Amino acid sequence: MKYLGINEIKEILPHRHPFLLVDYIEDYEPGEYAVGYKCVTYREDFFAGHFPQEPVMPGVLIIEALAQVGAVAVLMQEENKGKLGYFGGIKNCRFRRKVVPGDKLKLEARIIRQKGPVVVGEAIASVDGEVAVKAELTLAIGE
């Protein structure tokens, strides 16, 4: 298994607090997959305004976290180092479970096809083995 801490992730992704939504990468294979985690705490900035009476992580931020993990898998390829991954699309997205403070969100992205700068991946976010979100994400690799 290949591990990346927050400092290594920041060398790959341009995102910074509060928009860097991956705490660490547990395993990856460049151009194939990456598995990362987001440890969700009550102190997240978005909880102040997203259902303060019942804090729930916004679904769009879960999708963004999945895209960031997918981007790590793609941007670790030698030919993509130093480039950026832009959102290109979301298909077949389903939200199945709330993500709340205290959850350890597992983020898995597997590349299913790549043609030039366009990469499509299957992404799954889960908590304790229970799927929270599943989607097909498209990234465009650019300068």
How far is residue 33's CA from residue 43's CA, in Å, rounded to a whole number?
30
Tokens at 37, concatenated: 């985690």
Strands 104-115 and 84-95, sheet pairing: unpaired
- What number of residues does the chain have? 143
Q: Is 50 a catalytic residue?
A: yes
Ramachandran angles phi, psi of 71, nearest 5°: -65, -35
Query: Checking phi first, is residue 137 left (phi over 0); if not, alpha (psi -120 to 50) or beta?
Result: beta
Q: Which of 10, 15, 50, 98 is catalytic?
A: 50
The residue with tokens 């927050």 is 6
Give me the active site residues, please: 50
